[in-house]
Structure 1
Amino acid sequence: MNVANKLQLLYIPATYWNEPTSNFELISKGKQLPKKSSFFILWIPSNQSEKELNEHITDTFPGIPINKLLSCKINLATPNHLSETKKKESSSKKIFNIISHIGKIIPISPATKLLYQLEIIENLDRSRIHYSNSIKTWALLTKLVFELLNKGQFVPVLEPTREKLYNSQWRLILKSQYDSDRFKSILNHSSWSAFCLPINIINENGTMKTNGLWHPSYLYSLFLDSIGDYLIRSTLKKSKFQTFDEFYSSEIKKEVDPDFKLNWDYKFLKTLIKQDNSFQVDEFYESILPTLIQNWTQSALGFQLKYDFTLSLELKYPEEVEEDWPLKISLSTHDGTKSIPLNQLWEGHELKKELFSNNIKGDEQHLEIVLRALGAASKIFPPLKKAFLETIQNEINLTSSEVMEFLKYPKDLLIQSGFNIVLPEVFTLGGKQRLTTRLIIRSKEDTKKKGGLTSVLPSIFDIDSMLDSKWDARIEGKKITEDQFNNLIDSNDPLVNLHGKWILIDQNDVESLRNIKKFQVKNYLDALKLGLIGKVQLQENGAKYDVIVEGELNEIITRIQSIDSFEEIPCPSSFNGKLRVYQEAALKWMGNMTKLNFGLCLADDMGLGKTIQVIAFLLYLKEKYPKNKGSILVVCPTSVLFNWYREIRKFAPNLEVILHHGPNRYKTVSEIPEFLKAHRIFLTSYGTIRNDIDFLESIQFSGIIIDESQNMKNYASQQTQAIYKLKSQYRICLSGTPIENRLLELWSLFNFLNPGLLGTRKEFQDKFILPIERFQNQEAINDLKTIIAPFILRRLKSDRSIIKDLPEKNEIKLTIELTEEQVLLYKDLTEETLLMIDDSTVDNRKKKGLILA
């Protein structure tokens, strides 16, 4: 859908809608908004009618009560050509049109609840709502707010409003590099529609235009601060301030006396938890309080991201080992694309206007911001005072001992405070002069076996002991001994002079590398996962190290990553039909992957013949391995049980098929030999599996086929737990929708197919579900795709290669007249339903159900 017709979401701060530029007008009659209130609006760039806007909202958010939302008109800026252009492109200098748009107002409280719970994972294969970039942006920011609050990352501040009067506020802080990077990622991936508030109005030939938008970093930071403050105060209100009231009971009693001088701490804390956030300086000794609080919070706040620029400290490697280290100081954008040397900041540099536009009021404010940042940085690392003791300098020199001190703790504290730290290239992760290591995984012995289906590998459950792994520590690409490695990580100095060169021993690396001795490759599938990703992480948010796979495991990984590398498998001669080209590809995939004893998911679109492809595969196994022991168990919903039976009889009459369903099915131990006959197929239902699991779990099947495997999406259900207990050499799941709602369903599926490949449920939750569902972390998305890609084959009817291979679609319309009896029954039912709809005693929800029925 074109962005012009997509529903958009925009945060409107009180400072915008109260100023003339917004030309804000409340359409809903008899309603008023508090002057200090901020809110969200839903709107459409093509500026359709209110009725059409309502329809878009209902389609996108069915749960929103349209009739309760206030309507408004407000000036918003749009580019000449509407597209979901990302921030980097949209923020360049251009002229925007200003148009008065119709919008629907959503108050902060329900909006934050909606956005926090919103699932915004992109999945083109599923019929689900695809939200606009602006909705995703504000959803990600809302999730970030709750994450920061949950981690306690907020501080109190006092903002001056006029002489001796301040407003207290809770302000969120991005304490870790991980949080800062998430904010920057949201910032850099957002489109103009998420921050399209004009900074001014230019009348050009009777048309309203603007030459700039509110800077996204400024608008997003306002949102973080205002929502964080609102949620903290709401939480405190729910707790009824019991502790506060008890501690300040005497102050509360005396507050009614106008002559009584209240203590400053009581006044300050009161403004932080009550509705009225005004702090009045009444006494001389209280005048120092705002400055003290600002100095106290400055180190925590650091260089705030809302300015879209930061103080950069770039350490340069000395030309000679004995020389000092240059440290360059500049002001740069967060993405590092533009910078100003510090000493040129007050010399009218052209870039200064762009850096400070739309987020700082007045040219004089930037001086205070930068100097405060320098002051905060120098408290963390005192040698930085050299940059501003006499004149402002853009470069200072550090001794080797100062560099060592800088790299110990100040570097990380400065990063946490929002400063940009750039190390010499040789010290960056993977740089030549940085201690690093890699994990090498290899096979202990030749794992190949001969004969039968297991001609390549034994079962994945038996191969664990055949793997060996070790760590290979290196500096400058050269291997070092274990003793040298231990001495380096036990060193307290971040820099070590080794063979006339400085080697960085980063403390973050050391903490991570010390976990090497604890780290173990758990099993074969864990080794496979590490080999597929090619990286290993020893601690949360820590560095990632290369994984090198050697021997047969490396050969297997190379093979399964490309279906083209598989051995060709012709359609079985006894197959009573003809496979299409894409179905032959699936046969080749299943045949080769099951030789490696991997569990598979054939996830073709509905109607592409998953059942036929599996039947051809079962015939191939019978022809290829006629003496292979064990039968095949096919589990499917009861509704398709007899369809499977008919399809097998039709396309593979040579296969023996038995219905394991109903009262006459096998149930006793003496009948177990019936399940051991080669290539015999047992068809059963999910319900039968659940009831017979105590009997069936004792049988070693050759293979298990699970049809409509989305039925086992709930890992905790009795049905899924029963399927987990089944034993077989290979496992195949069939589903047109392997994931219907949440990523946990994928784990439930793979916990059956290849248990351990995605780790434990908690590991999967931490490494993939939280980063992907909450923050759309691209690295986590890519890693998960890389791991599961070899084991899922998914083709859609819309794929060009598939469409060419499908027969023409034929539609035949048949008109059938109702019999007289059917007409009477239909008439009676209609009249009865209409009477119930008109009946005032019937619940409204039930009436809606009757209409839909």
Structure 2
Amino acid sequence: MQVLHAAWDGDMFYLWAESSTMPMTAARIRGRQSKKPKPRAHPFSLVGDELKAVFVEFSDEKLPDPTALETKTFLLPSTQKGPVPSPWLIREEDYSVAKATGLASWNIETLIFEPYLAFEFLLGLPEQPTHGFVFGSSLRFWIEVAKFSLELITRQQFAPAIREDDGSFQAAWAVVITGEDEERVRILSEAMPASCRSHNAETTPVEQLSSFVNRTADAFIRNSLDSTTLLPPRRGRRPKVVPLPEQWLNALSTDNHALVASPEDLNSFYTEIQTWLSQLQPAAPDAQFRTCFRLEPPPDSDSDSADAENGEEWGIHFFLQARDDRSLLVPAEAVWRTRSSTLTFLKRRFENPQEQLLTDLSKASQLFHAIESSLQTARPVGLELDAEQAYSFLLQSAPLLKQSGFGVLLPSWWEKPSARIGIKLKLTPAQEVTNGKVASHALLGAKGIIAYDWAVAVGDETLSESEFEQLARLKVPLVQIRGEWVELRPDDVETAIKFFKKKHNRGEMTLGEAMQLGFGAGNEAVETEVGLPIVEVEAEGWLEDMLNSLSEGVKITPVKTPRAFHGKLRSYQKKGVSWLAYLNKFGLGACLADDMGLGKTIELIALLLHERAGKQVNKLAPTLLICPMSVVGNWQMEVERFAPSLKVMVHHGADRHTGKIFARKAKKHDLVISTYALAHRDEETLSNVSWRHVVLDEAQNIKNPAAKQTQAIKKFVAEHRIALTGTPVENRLSELWSIMDFLNPGYLKSAKHFRTNFALPIERYRRNERAELLRHMIQPFVLRRLKSDPTIIKDLPEKMEMKVYYNLTKEQASLYEAVVAEMMVQIEYSEGIERKGLVLATLMKLKQITNHPALFLQDGSPLPGRSGKLARLEAMLEEVLAEGDKALIFTQFAGMGVMLRHYLQEKLGCETLFLHGGTTKKQRDAMILRFQTDPHGPPLFILSLKAGGIGLNLTAANHVFHFDRWWNPAVENQATDRVFRIGQRKNVQVHKFICIGTLEERIDQMIERKKELAESIIGAGEAWVTELSTDQLKEVFSLSQDAVEPMD
């Protein structure tokens, strides 16, 4: 595992990393130590190419690699053994170094970033790092500051300035912090982790934050200008001495930032610029109130036409507005009526209100010059404007006043898209519904499915050519039409006139484009062709029904639970089945993205049964399910449990069918299960069948669109496609694009188009409007329900117990069979206490093997890829972490707990606690406190069953994993009750691992058959197993063929 840290020194940004693969203790200092020892090399920080590889792992391919490495000195919490590692790196044997005894200086090799590269790098980092990496608190802090800096830039909260440093002056762009942003600076500064100052402790948090924001903004703006000059080319001869104002403006867009002049001239010019910049700040920014301007249109006209001349006067009214309660407005009239320096209004006190109002109005007049006229009166309360002035205020001055910290209240219609000239689209299906189908996944992007007509609209009204010409002749920017105010932009008016002259208002579009329009996503192609925004969309026929049904909050007609379904569907699961069936009706791909444990598996099984309950069941093609190898067995068991009437075929293993034989066999089954690994390898074979559905379980496995398995899967022909995943987006939006492109090819256009229009604007530049647009576009195709949803919680039991089935690896199976063969010979020829001991020893060895070969062999060998159980646990914990949940993991082997802790921290990149019999009370209490109370603390807690089975309250967790089984319900329930007890506010999911075809499955079946008598018959512990006959033991211990992960 590698933990990434960051530092900023006012000029440069530094990245460094700790590694779990390096020694945790520093080399001892030989000889006598001085009172001020020299900094030593940090023992477990990455250096050289390994550090550069971190940048490559997370950087955008278009960013240049920072090649410079520099050793910097950091002051870190330390002990005599060395620096204290980050919590994620503290190993079981390192608890003694976890508590610092003081601070010490350490030399650390860092990767150096100039401000622009640092800015782009930070903004490009994912919310969650890839496995094996952790973002330390310092790096996460600078990511948030970079987002803040970008937000200021996008809001144009910057101005040209001069930076002074030890008597030298440089042209620079500086951010302008006003109003609410000042509070955000304070909050961010107070939240700065101490580790951010470990390299630069002399500066305050505010100074560090301000310098970072200003330097990154300056670098970004300069890069955007790309040497564009801010002044027109000089005519004539260039003077020997370029005037300072000209130097300054030129230096704002070039690499030469320095200003050259005499010290007196530089200081004078610097003072002038600072005075000018101060005008951007509202008076008394720390005051409890501010001046606010409210624009009010003329009174409504009774006319039904565009009000003849629209000559009525607009008004701006002045108020004082409380900063902590924006609804509290004190009219200027009330301010002038007060006769003291204190105004009391609605039980609030305002100090020096008259002085504040006049000062603010003077500053505001420099941003909106019309305010100057009001200052000619002794007690200004507002001013009147004509339509041109009101339009200028709306378009230009209001944003400037807001940025400068003033309050501005505008009419609600101003921000509406319909408040300008636009077009209304009428969508009509060009193809009728045939046999319940209107499209397949291939037709979603095909032309000719939808026809459209367009008409010019102003506000909510469609206008004829003559009506529009009458409106255009008014030549005013704001008009009132039938009670609604509308903006008439000159360019829009000209475009509309050209539109009427073309006499061409028809066209065709794809079903996908029509759906995007219907869900409020707009259509850039149509808007570009017409030159006007789409302000309203109206659909007809089956398209109207479909758009209405798939809109948020609109109910889809529910389907009944199939008779062949063995079990009961919860209400939200019925809705999921109905939703899948409805999208299937139109051939549209669907992504079921419910939280783990809500039942995605049984919803798909119910869908297959629902389809086969129809009259044309014999005509249905088989469904292909692609899933990870670790869940193939789980799917088999779930189908057998809930839908035994479905015919299932598993396509895996060395003896699997291929070619025509496979196609013939597949058509005789309802469900064919295969794996991602075979999707590419057997692409030709799997392509020989036209499938009813192609279903991807854990669909995040196709997050890489360039991967061969992803490309192969997208080629499979099916009437309908379904993706099942609890994490549709793990790190990058490109993962969502890949899943959506599988479900509905072409809907989100090409990967390049998606990256340019959505991924970069959202991930790097945090453009909320693009995120909202994308949400509208994918909403019809993604159904995500959370365990925390009120409608879901009421439908769930407080505790859900689930069995998790898995297969053994070939190595596990070989060890298992060898142990059974050896031990059964000894058991058969023993009796009494010796026999009981041998049976228990066999049971213990087989448990160790099903956990992991390394636990049985005790050889310290690597863990990855050798245990089916561990692979399944890892996959499930990924979902737990993605959903922000916490989990307990019980094992009866302390050695397994140590292995799990190291493995999960390395693979999942999160701190994992481990409580066992050797844990001291002090350590135990500290672990429990962190797990229970720290929202950013370790989300996973491993407990040995005996040490964690009693006396603990761990209600912060809502998942319990029984990694290995005690085979006694009372003992397991006692462990589960660490979570499911008084104080638990969430529904608890209990996961019990069972290996198919082994003692785990057979003993589970025995317990299930006698569940009501389990405690009395089985008793405490596992001694009851020793009472079984030798033949019964052979049956329990034997390994069946389906227990092993098939080899390709």
Cα distance in 2 for residues equivalent to 1:295 and 1:149: 22
Q: Which residue of 2 aligns with 1:468?
A: 451
Q: Which amino acid aligns with 2:172?
A: W
SS at the partner of 1:616?
Answer: helix
Cα distance in 2 for residues equivalent to 1:509 and 1:71: 66
Q: Which amino acid aligns with 1:386?
A: S
Q: Which residue of 1 aligns with 2:477?
A: 494
Cα distance in 2 for residues equivalent to 1:277 and 1:483: 60
Q: Which residue of 1 aligns with 2:463?
A: 480
Question: Taking every aligned residue pair, what percent have the same amino acid on both sides?
Answer: 24
- The verdict on how the C-alpha distance between 1:611 and 1:545 changes in structure 2, with shifts beyond 3 A counting, is same
Report the alpha carbon displacement of residue 351 of structure 1 after superposing the two structures with TM.
9.4
Q: Which residue of 2 aligns with 1:590?
A: 580
Matched, 1:728 2:732: no
Report the alpha carbon displacement of residue 748 of structure 1 after superposing the two structures with TM.
1.6
Moved more, 696-705 or 324-333: 324-333
- The verdict on how the C-alpha distance between 1:481 and 1:797 changes in structure 2, with shifts beyond 3 A counting, is closer
Q: What's the CA shift string for 1:577-619, capped at 9, x where partnerless?
A: 6656655554334333322322222334445554444333223
Matched, 1:523 2:510: yes
Cα distance in 1 for residues equivalent to 2:845 and 2:118: 50
Report the alpha carbon displacement of residue 710 of structure 1 after superposing the two structures with TM.
1.3
Matched, 1:634 2:654: no
SS at the partner of 1:442?
Answer: strand
Q: Which amino acid aligns with 2:452?
A: S
Q: What's the CA shift string for 1:624-657, capped at 9, x where partnerless?
A: 1314353322212234445545655665554444
SS at the partner of 1:569?
Answer: coil
Report the alpha carbon displacement of residue 688 of structure 1 after superposing the two structures with TM.
2.3
- The verdict on how the C-alpha distance between 1:526 and 1:131 changes in structure 2, with shifts beyond 3 A counting, is farther
Q: What's the CA shift string for 1:799-834, capped at 9, x where partnerless?
A: 5345428655899xx995559x99x9989966999x
SS at the partner of 1:465?
Answer: coil
Q: Which residue of 1 aligns with 2:149?
A: 145
Contact 2:160 2:173 in 1 (8 A): yes
SS at the partner of 2:619?
Answer: coil
Q: Which residue of 2 aligns with 1:449?
A: 434
- The verdict on how the C-alpha distance between 1:573 and 1:330 changes in structure 2, with shifts beyond 3 A counting, is closer
Q: Which residue of 1 aligns with 2:172?
A: 170
SS at the partner of 2:720?
Answer: strand
SS at the partner of 1:618?
Answer: helix
Q: Which residue of 1 aligns with 2:709?
A: 719
Cα distance in 1 for residues equivalent to 2:719 and 2:674: 18
Report the alpha carbon displacement of residue 480 of structure 1 after superposing the two structures with TM.
0.8
C-alpha RMSD of matched pairs (Å): 6.8
Q: What's the CA shift string for 1:211-258, capped at 9, x where partnerless?
A: xxxxxxxx9899456631377589999xxx9x9xxxxxxxxxxxxxxx
1:741 aligns with one of 731, 751, 757 = 731
Cα distance in 1 for residues equivalent to 2:473 and 2:753: 29
Tell me the matched-pair count: 692
Q: Which residue of 2 aligns with 1:425?
A: 411
Cα distance in 2 for residues equivalent to 1:617 and 1:724: 22
1:693 aligns with one of 674, 680, 683 = 683
Matched, 1:618 2:608: yes
Report the alpha carbon displacement of residue 729 of structure 1 after superposing the two structures with TM.
0.9
- The verdict on how the C-alpha distance between 1:500 and 1:561 changes in structure 2, with shifts beyond 3 A counting, is closer
Q: What's the CA shift string for 1:152-199, capped at 9, x where partnerless?
A: 98544358999xx8976734357xxxxx9xx988778x69854669xx
Q: Which residue of 1 aligns with 2:213?
A: 227
Report the alpha carbon displacement of residue 395 of structure 1 after superposing the two structures with TM.
3.0
Report the alpha carbon displacement of residue 439 of structure 1 after superposing the two structures with TM.
3.7
Q: Which residue of 2 aligns with 1:755?
A: 745
SS at the partner of 1:706?
Answer: strand
Contact 1:599 1:754 in 2 (8 A): yes
Q: Which amino acid aligns with 2:695?
A: I
SS at the partner of 2:694?
Answer: strand
Cα distance in 1 for residues equivalent to 2:552 and 2:492: 35
Q: Describe how 1:442-841 pairs up with structure 2 within 5 A.
A: 442-444=427-429, 447-450=432-435, 455=436, 457-459=438-440, 461-462=442-443, 465-475=448-458, 477-482=460-465, 484-485=467-468, 493-495=476-478, 504-506=487-489, 522-533=509-520, 545-561=535-551, 565-575=555-565, 583-607=573-597, 609-624=599-614, 625-641=616-632, 643-645=634-636, 648=639, 652=643, 654-661=645-652, 668=659, 674=664, 677=667, 680-693=670-683, 696-697=686-687, 699-761=689-751, 764-765=754-755, 768-770=758-760, 773=763, 784-785=774-775, 787-794=777-784, 800-801=793-794, 803-804=796-797, 817=844
Q: What's the CA shift string for 1:95-126, capped at 9, x where partnerless?
A: xxxxxxxxxxxx9989989964665599xxx9
Contact 1:443 1:553 in 2 (8 A): yes
- The verdict on how the C-alpha distance between 1:831 and 1:591 changes in structure 2, with shifts beyond 3 A counting, is closer
Contact 1:312 1:422 in 2 (8 A): yes
Could you state the TM-score of these two structures normalised by the residue count of structure 1?
A: 0.60
Q: Describe how 1:72-471 pairs up with structure 2 within 5 A.
A: 116=123, 119=126, 139-146=143-150, 154-158=158-162, 170-173=172-175, 194=188, 223-224=209-210, 227-229=213-215, 232=218, 282-283=263-264, 289-290=269-270, 293=273, 314-318=294-298, 321-328=310-317, 337=327, 348=341, 350=343, 371-378=362-369, 383-388=370-375, 393-399=380-386, 402-403=389-390, 406=392, 410-411=396-397, 414=400, 418=404, 425=411, 428-430=414-416, 434-437=419-422, 439-444=424-429, 447-450=432-435, 455=436, 457-459=438-440, 461-462=442-443, 465-471=448-454
Cα distance in 1 for residues equivalent to 2:247 and 2:148: 31
Cα distance in 2 for residues equivalent to 1:108 and 1:141: 16
- The verdict on how the C-alpha distance between 1:786 and 1:512 changes in structure 2, with shifts beyond 3 A counting, is farther
Report the alpha carbon displacement of residue 489 of structure 1 after superposing the two structures with TM.
7.5
Q: What's the CA shift string for 1:388-426, capped at 9, x where partnerless?
A: 46867443344456556x369755884697486968738
Could you state the TM-score of these two structures normalised by the residue count of structure 2?
A: 0.50
Q: Which runs of 5+ in 2 are unaligned?
A: 1-5, 11-34, 40-73, 92-96, 105-112, 192-204, 230-240, 302-309, 805-839, 863-901, 908-1048
Report the alpha carbon displacement of residue 711 of structure 1 after superposing the two structures with TM.
0.5
Contact 1:157 1:293 in 2 (8 A): yes
Contact 1:534 1:548 in 2 (8 A): no
Q: Which amino acid aligns with 2:708?
A: Q
Cα distance in 1 for residues equivalent to 2:122 and 2:607: 46
- The verdict on how the C-alpha distance between 1:474 and 1:712 changes in structure 2, with shifts beyond 3 A counting, is same
Q: Which amino acid aligns with 1:804?
A: P
Contact 1:472 1:479 in 2 (8 A): yes
Cα distance in 2 for residues equivalent to 1:498 and 1:608: 52
- The verdict on how the C-alpha distance between 1:30 and 1:772 changes in structure 2, with shifts beyond 3 A counting, is farther
Q: Which residue of 2 aligns with 1:35?
A: none
Q: What's the CA shift string for 1:409-453, capped at 9, x where partnerless?
A: 755884697486968738624499x44446444333672223xxx
Q: Which amino acid aligns with 2:693?
A: G
